[in-house]
Amino acid sequence: MPDPAVPPTPPVPLSALLAREDLALRQIAGPSDPGLVIHWAHTSEMADPYPYLLGGELLLTAGVHIPEAAGSGTYFDDYVSRIVAAGGAALGFGLAPVHDTVPRALVAACEAYGLPLLEVPPQTTFSGVARAVWQLMAQARHTELRRVTEAQQSLAGAASRPDPVPAVLRQLAQRVGGRAVLYGPEGAEIASAGRTERAGREQGDEVRGALAGLARVVTDRSSATATDTVDGIHLAAYALGAGQGFVLGVAAPRRDPGDHTIASVAAVLLSLLTGEHQSGTGAARSSALVRLLLGAAPEEVATLLGWGSPRSSEAGSGGDRWVVVHARPDAQVLDAVAASALGAALGSPLVDLAQDVVRVLVPAEREPGPQPGWTLGVSAAVAPPEWASADRQAARALARARAIRTPLARQGARPALADLVPEDQAEAHARALLAPLAPVLIETLRTWLSLHGSWDRTAVALSVHRNTVRQRIARCTELLAADLDDPDVRMELWFALRRL
């Protein structure tokens, strides 16, 4: 995640400057709007300061430029109107040594043109006022930077949750005090969080419609961002990634300087979450899938997936070794975005979303670790011809992890004892020994033995009642004509179950 762009320096509320007791400024004309802000302070004794103003200034003057007969003509009207035309935010008039009081005509002109007029007492220097402005700006900048940093951290934390997209949208809506919406490639609203309604449903519908329209503008024009304002609600749309078609929409009643930075961080995260997380190309993976469906062997298509080569195992590099991960969310509803985010966290785009489990095929060198909000079962590292066997291992490991309430369980490497028996003989013995058992009994026996004969844990792992487990194990005992409490019998059965 790159560092956020530094937000622009926030302006200073005029009320904050007036509240400084060390300055003793006093507003004597113009509106007292609490939302009025100034961007900097500038001193000028020009009769026409217009060419030297950028807008947003607190213009400070001691009235040196004022002619003696100014009060009887249009001098002050012309002077104030030019400040307003230049975008000046306020005027500060210093008392002494030129003028003992603020000219009445200047007060009247500022009142007429709606320009705040401040009286600067003799003991307050213009440099002191300018320094106070910069101090307030530095404080506001520090506060805004801290807000942006905290927002970035909370957004990154939300992106690591099992339900990353809704979590990011909720955090963004909370941080900007409005509503955040994710639109799909067809313009449909996929997910949203927060609200912007001020006075009823009609205004909320209008804002929603305007934000959806702004999202279409971004998509149609291939623009990165677009902004608008509807009924005082600030709208912004951000395109996610290059050519993805997803758009982030944000609506908020106010727009602080750091809000764009915060929304941009959210847009980057959502681009990663909604994008196609891949190490190889999508075309190569599609080709691999088609070849598998048409009967090609897994080892023939493994190299299309972007990792390893058929010869890498000869050197022991593990480049063609894979693990299968089965995962179930702990609480939230499982969806495609959450599954994609899990795959990205595990470092693989090869993700399959089933009814209640996510399966991920991961290169062995990217050893899977625990993931917040998920329970994982991880197979042993295998070559492509053994993918099907690894899939079953991962399923059993997941059942074990859920039963013992651990975030991750791994299928260990094959015991050395098993290598002493030829594969065909071991498999023939296993099939003969377990022939009386139906598949459901075999799976129950396998789970029950792996959990050291625990009825409760086996029931959890198989999602059945503990009495059902007891009945099935009793049936196994009857069909096998064996004492399942005998450790030798258990060892032989476990050996046979592993060979299957």
Same domain, 399 and 287: yes
Q: What is the pLDDT of residues 185-225, one digit of tens each?
A: 777 788 888 876 554 444 467 888 888 888 888 876 655 78
Residues 6+ apart with CB under 8 A from 58: 14, 17, 38, 40, 41, 42, 88, 89, 90, 91, 92, 118, 129, 133
144: in domain: no
Same domain, 265 and 331: no
Domain at 234, CATH number: 3.30.450.30
152: in domain: no
Half-sphere exposure of 471 (CA within 13 A, CB side): 6
Same domain, 245 and 356: no
Domain boundary among 364, 379, 413: 413
β-pairing verdict for 408-410 and 37-38? unpaired
Domain boundary among 389, 413, 437: 413
Which parts of the chain have pLDDT scores under 50? 1-7, 199-203, 276-280, 308-319, 415-416
CA–CA distance, 214 with 77 (Å, rounded to integer): 42
304: in domain: yes
pLDDT at position 280 is 42
458: in domain: yes
Please say whether the dihedral angle defined by the alpha carbons of residues 452, 456, 461 and 463, taken in this order, is positive or negative: positive
pLDDT at position 6 is 41
Domain range spanning residue 435? 418-499
Token digits for 334?
């499982």
pLDDT at position 275 is 64
Beta strand residue intervals within 184-321, DSSP E: 189-194, 225-230, 233-239, 247-252
Same domain, 250 and 314: no
Tell me 419's DSSP state: G
Backbone angles phi and psi of 43, in degrees to 5:
-105, 130
| Coil, strand or helix at 42 | strand
Buried b (16+ CB within 10 A) or exposed e, 417-451: eeeeeeeeebeeebeebbeebeeebbbbbbbbbbb
pLDDT at position 347 is 74
Same domain, 78 and 24: yes
Same domain, 402 and 438: no
Rg (CA), the chain: 35
Same domain, 362 and 377: yes
225: in domain: yes
Domain at 376, CATH number: 3.30.70
Domain at 441, CATH number: 1.10.10.2840
CA–CA distance, 364 with 208 (Å, rounded to integer): 47
Same domain, 237 and 309: no
Contact of 125 with 22, CB cutoff 8 Å:
no
Which residues lie across from 323 on neighbouring strands? 362
Domain boundary among 119, 136, 153: 136
Domain at 86, CATH number: 3.40.1390.20
pLDDT at position 225 is 82
pLDDT at position 1 is 35
Residue 327 host element (H or E): strand 322-329
338: in domain: yes
Q: What is the pLDDT of residues 343-395, one digit of tens each?
A: 777 877 788 887 788 888 888 887 888 887 889 999 988 888 888 888 888 98
Which amino acid, 437? Answer: L
Same domain, 454 and 369: no
CA–CA distance, 485 with 384 (Å, rounded to integer): 38
Beta strand residue intervals within 121-223, DSSP E: 179-183, 189-194
Domain count, the chain: 4
CA–CA distance, 296 with 290 (Å, rounded to integer): 9
Token digits for 424?
């065909």
Angle at 237 between CA 233 and CA 241, to 5 degrees: 160
Residue 60 host element (H or E): strand 57-61
Task: Give the end-to-end CA distance of the chain in Å, rounded to a whole number.
Answer: 45
CA–CA distance, 57 with 152 (Å, rounded to integer): 32
Same domain, 182 and 69: no
142: in domain: no
Same domain, 233 and 325: no
Contact of 345 with 160, CB cutoff 8 Å:
yes
143: in domain: no
| Coil, strand or helix at 304 | helix
Token digits for 64?
């040196």
Buried b (16+ CB within 10 A) or exposed e, 21-57: eebebebebbeeeeeebbbbbbbbeeeebeeebeebb
Same domain, 120 and 170: no
